[in-house]
Structure 1
Amino acid sequence: MKKNEKALTVAFTGGGGKTSLILGLAEIFSGQGKRVIVTTTTHMAWEPERPFAEAEDIPGACRLIEQYGYVIAAYHKAGQPKISGPEKEILEKLPGFCDLLLVEADGSRRRPLKVPAVHEPVIPSFADVVVGVIGLDCIGRRICDTAHRPDDVAGFLGKHTDEPVTWMDVWKIIRSEDGLQKGVDGRRFLAYLNKADTLEDSCVAEKLMAQGQESGIMVICGSLQRSVNSWNRKEVER
């Protein structure tokens, strides 16, 4: 495959739903004729039915892109439920062989809400866009029942772990450079708030999007089952 010098690299951080969002977007973009590579800088769920190549096997990855439109390029040990990301030298080569590189750059053990630890997230230095993810099914539930590292989230919010998460808590995490915007460092940023269909009060999504609009932060609320199909490259780039 001919090398492409203008690939867009998007890093995904935050809570649960990142893998589903990434793979959904990979299918959508590849269906539009884009060459897509999916990888991770941490760990990602292993899905054996997906086109997969060892990260250093660039020719093999390119063949799979030609066949399927996208490929997951990482490492997997037999019997393990997770795949791991490539070394920096290999990671930096991947944008040269696709139009779009989608990188899972954070872990949350499938919990919908988190704040990053000192070593997180692991955003590639060459990333163009960061998408922060939160599952809105955290709202109304106790921090201890919904957050990854509940003590850290409670400390960030100034609450106890047995207190419920409010929409204002979610907004505080979205807007903070110690929260969902950690490591963005001037890149384009948008927040994707998944599972809006689980909200008892639909006004919550409207409030969060309004807060984003007032603050100059793109906030998208929706359900992966319904809204991934509405995404396109222009939406991610702007």
Structure 2
Amino acid sequence: MKSNSLVELFGIEKGDVVSITGSGGKTTLLFALSEELKTCGRVLITTTTKIFTPSTERADYRFTDLSDYYFVGADTVRVVLGVEDADTGKLLAPSDDVLQRVAKDFDYILIEADGSRNLPLKMWREGEPVISSLTTKTIGVIPIQPYGRKAEADFIFNYEGFVATFGNGSVDCNIYREIIQHRRGIFKNSRGSKILFINQVECEAARCRALRILSALSDASITKTYGSLLKGDYYGID
């Protein structure tokens, strides 16, 4: 089933707090969702880890000092909230208490809840990902491009942990299935409904691989989706 809307594909509704985990497209997905949701209401963009401060094209208001935050009186708006780290230029997470206080000001909250140092695959360490207690939907993002590659440190964050858990063979359908369904995998610490998005599906071979992975999943609680954030092509599995 093809969809032109990520919001529709993921079933996002007013009041949802969406935490995004995984690798290979989290930030792109975050801002693609915010662009769609801005037409529907008031959107808060934040993190429970750290993100680069977004450009003015990606947000209408940016609060990088929590003491400066105020209610923005607009029906449709994108607001970024975080704590600026002068050394790195990144935004650090507001506390869950702060998030709870400002949540009433927004119709939707989008949270980047994971980090992978821009590597396409990862193994989660203790305390990762960081899922807010307010979360109603957890979206796990994983790219298809590493499929078939031998596991190597140059494209896997926490390579040692990955090898200890999944081995150092080829990243095949079985490895993807384990990453997705393992208790310490992509949905570790998840809250609310679980939504999987396989990204970078941009050719027929990639589509076949994505469908092979999705058909191998046994966890019926996961909503299965795939597509290309680059091309804006999105698909759901009934």
Q: Distance in 2 between matches of 1:9 and 1:96?
A: 11
Q: Are 2:164 and 1:165 equivalent residues in the alignment? A: no
Moved more, 187-196 or 74-83: 74-83
Aligned length: 218
Between the aligned residues of both structures, percent identity stands at 27
Choose between structure 1 and 2: higher strand proportion.
Answer: 2
Please tell me the residue identity of whatever aligns with 1:38: I
Please tell me the residue identity of whatever aligns with 2:36: I
Q: Are 2:160 and 1:151 equivalent residues in the alignment? A: yes
1:13/1:132 contact within 8 Å kept: yes
Q: Are 2:51 and 1:44 equivalent residues in the alignment? A: yes
Q: Distance in 2 between matches of 1:117 and 1:199?
A: 34
Deviation string 1:31-50 (CA, Å, 9 cap, x unpaired) is 2x221100001101222333
Q: CA deviation at 1:94?
A: 2.7
Please, what is the CA RMSD of the aligned residues? 2.4
TM-score, normalised to structure 2, is 0.82
Q: Distance in 1 between matches of 2:28 and 2:230?
A: 10
User: 215, 218, 222: which is aligned to 2:223?
Assistant: 218
Q: CA deviation at 1:216?
A: 4.1
Which contiguous aligned blocks of 4+ residues in structure 1 show a shift greater than 6 angstroms?
none
1:56/1:90 contact within 8 Å kept: no
Q: Distance in 2 between matches of 1:45 and 1:223?
A: 22
Which residue of structure 2 lines up, in the alignment, with residue 3 of structure 1?
none
Which residue of structure 1 lines up, in the alignment, with residue 144 of structure 2?
136
Please tell me the residue identity of whatever aligns with 2:147: I
User: 15, 36, 61: which is aligned to 1:28?
Assistant: 36
Q: CA deviation at 1:175?
A: 1.2
1:212/1:219 contact within 8 Å kept: no
Q: CA deviation at 1:56?
A: 4.4
Q: Distance in 1 between matches of 2:228 and 2:129?
A: 24
Q: CA deviation at 1:98?
A: 0.7
Q: CA deviation at 1:92?
A: 1.5
2:96/2:133 contact within 8 Å kept: no
Please list every run of 5 or more consecutive structure 1 residues that lacks an aligned counterpart in the other structure.
1-5
User: 107, 110, 126: which is aligned to 1:102?
Assistant: 110
Deviation string 1:48-99 (CA, Å, 9 cap, x unpaired) is 333311344442x525xx2862111112244634211112221222321111
Q: CA deviation at 1:203?
A: 1.4
Please tell me the residue identity of whatever aligns with 1:70: R
2:181/2:219 contact within 8 Å kept: no
With over 3 angstroms needed to count, the CA separation of the structure-2 counterparts of 1:198 and 1:110, relative to structure 1, is farther
Moved more, 45-54 or 88-97: 45-54
Q: Are 2:199 and 1:194 equivalent residues in the alignment? A: yes
TM-score, normalised to structure 1, is 0.82
Q: Distance in 2 between matches of 1:62 and 1:179?
A: 37
Give the SS at the match of 1:92: helix
Deviation string 1:11-42 (CA, Å, 9 cap, x unpaired) is 111113111100110001112x2211000011
